[in-house]
Amino acid sequence: MRAAGRRLLASLSDEQAAEAVHAFGDPDRLRWDYRPRPRPGTCLAGLSLAGRKNAHRLLATAMSEHAFAQVTSVMGLEEVLDRAEGHRRDRHSADYWVALFGSPDDDAWSWRFEGHHVSVTMSVVADEVSPTPVFLGANPAITFYRGTPVVRPLALEEELARRLLAGLTDALRKQAIVSPHAPDDIRTSNARDITGVELGPGLRAADLSPGDAGLLGELVDLYLDRLPPRLAAIERESLRPDELRFAWEGPAERGGGHYYRIQSPGLLIEYDNTQNDANHVHTVLRRPGDDFAAGLLAAHKAGER
């Protein structure tokens, strides 16, 4: 990441570098958003080919191959959405921004790649990386040809959850479905800090059969494996599977707006597909109390004393 950050900066003009780089203590370091809005940083649309490639290469240091493909597919969907809206909002696939907080040469620095339906924040402290929040969405979630999906970037995020829900006994399914109505977005939205967030009841992993627990583990892995193998392995080591809870809101049948979450003391995964007639997905991977390197920074400061 440090090397990729340096290469990016070297490929920017002085004006673009001034737009891209902010102080590590800038409040914008913690201000993330997956909706259209003004953003800190420099926009890919204005960069040279080398600059755009280096921005993508920095992003690639934070993503596994399949997740990188999901991100680039989501970016391309901005053109599809623009067409569907009659080009009223001038959406485009280069409306993504890269911002650095601090320098890759600093002991602690951070960077964000962000635009509509993509927000990836990586925080680096010494030789460790704090890899959340990571948000991916898609609108449209599915593009069809004669009823057959053609483009569906976040398919597994829905299908694995449905397999888990469908395989539960009636009693366990009643515990998992905590509301007949889904919220209109992920419940934590773009909150900067979700320390101690209480999202309600759900089905405990400890109550699942080995087969169902395995499916829940696959679903968690799907989100963790958005990260490169080394980072995903670190996240997996800190996970306490028996403390996981799974909750579904909305109808179990296809076609209706639906939402699910997976949470434990150190993990929160949210998925929501309710908008645009349930064809507009939002998903997020977060670490309550430890997003934006909160834990790493506290340990680093304590070590300096």
CA distances from 171 to 116, 175, 261 (A): 39, 7, 19
**Dihedral sign of CA atoms 45, 65, 122, 108 in order:** negative
pLDDT along the chain (305 residues), means of 10: 98 98 98 97 98 98 98 98 97 98 98 98 97 98 97 98 98 97 98 91 96 97 98 94 95 97 96 98 97 95 72
Rounded Cα–Cα distance for residues 179 and 303 (Å): 46
Radius of gyration of the chain (CA): 20
pLDDT at 294: 96
pLDDT at 196: 86
Phi/psi-derived region of residue 197, left when phi > 0, alpha when psi is between -120 and 50, beta in every other case:
beta
- Of the candidates 149, 131, 124, the one whose C-alpha atom is nearest the C-alpha of residue 284 is 131
pLDDT at 302: 81
Instruction: Return the structure tokens found at 210.
Output: 């080995």
Phi/psi-derived region of residue 78, left when phi > 0, alpha when psi is between -120 and 50, beta in every other case:
alpha
pLDDT at 132: 98
